[in-house]
Amino acid sequence: MRKTRQPGKAMETSFADLPTLQSSVFAALVLFVVTTIAFIWLAVLYIKKKSTGRPDDSELYIDCAYFCEIGKRPSQQDSVFISNLADYRKYGITALVADGMGGMEYGGEISEKIADFVKDMCPMSFFATEQNADELRRFSNKLYEEYKLSGGSTLAMVHIAGSYINYYSVGDSDIILIRNGNPTILNPRQNYMALLIKSLCRNNKQTVTAYSNPKARSLIDFMGNQNPRVIYTKKPIRIYDGDKIIVSSDGLTDAVSLRNFHHYLRDSASSTALELKRAVASRKRPKQDNYTGIVFTIKRSFM
């Protein structure tokens, strides 16, 4: 038997489903709007972070001080550069110590040229460490062409931005991180002693002979050499509230042992710098080298 269609019944089912359809469309529209707003917000944050070229940490406060003393040398061959502290929020802080090689005619002149070159590099990108290292290497090659190894200088440089630090190093000047009163030298020294110690350790021999070797303090790389190895951070190092960072020539760390640094640490950078300077002077070493130090104290600002 053939069944007949009942239009009225079908029409009632369609009208009953209409409120559910309207609710689904409304929910979809709300979800779309919320997703769009969230996407735009995240995109703005990403663009803002990329445009600053550094990690963002608006609560970080940097306290800085330095000293640069002649010691017993006839002239000052250390050079210092510190970027404008007022630009920290935008570009971070770049600080350099260049220690001209003593006994060479143009050591001081070359260290000054390195400081001027780093000044011209600023503001530098915090995330382009490899490119920055290449720039330093190319400048060393220019110094090599100009001076033909009649002078040279070390380089120890930090770039602090937000809650992170990058460093660059050539030679034997030191970059020291002090955390909870414990100092750690971040950059390996590029001198003959370091090579001797590495070789002796590899062969399971005592390292004491490395310190008495007459060539131990000779640099194996420096600015002014051809294609020097520029040591730099591949990944930024996290810094924390209470950390101290000291960039120094070896005139400081040769006179004041790292294990004694805790005696001279103070809350402010200026007080720490003053205590370290006094510590070197109090040693009264007859052949005291030029000694230079840049001190950073990392704090949280509650203002």
DSSP output for 204-230 = T--SHHHHH-TTTT-BS--BTBSS---
Locus of tokens 């034997």:
172
Listed in sequence order, the residues at least 6 apart from 97 whose beta carbon sits closer than 8 Å to its beta carbon are 78, 79, 80, 154, 155, 156, 157, 173, 247, 248, 249, 292, 293, 294
pLDDT of residue 89: 84
Identify residue 187 by its one-letter amino acid code.
Answer: N
Listed in sequence order, the residues at least 6 apart from 5 whose beta carbon sits closer than 8 Å to its beta carbon are none
- 8 Å CB contact between 177 and 160: no
What is the tens place of the pLDDT at every residue in 227-280? 999 999 999 999 999 999 999 999 999 999 999 999 999 999 999 999 999 999
Task: State percent of the chain over pLDDT 90.
Answer: 61
Q: What would the two tokens of residue 73 be?
A: 């040398």
**For residues 294 and 301, what is the distance between their CA atoms, to the nearest angstrom?**
21
The least confident of 15-24, 78-87, 181-190, 274-283 is 15-24
pTM of the model: 0.75
What is the tens place of the pLDDT at every residue in 119-146? 999 999 999 999 999 999 999 999 999 9
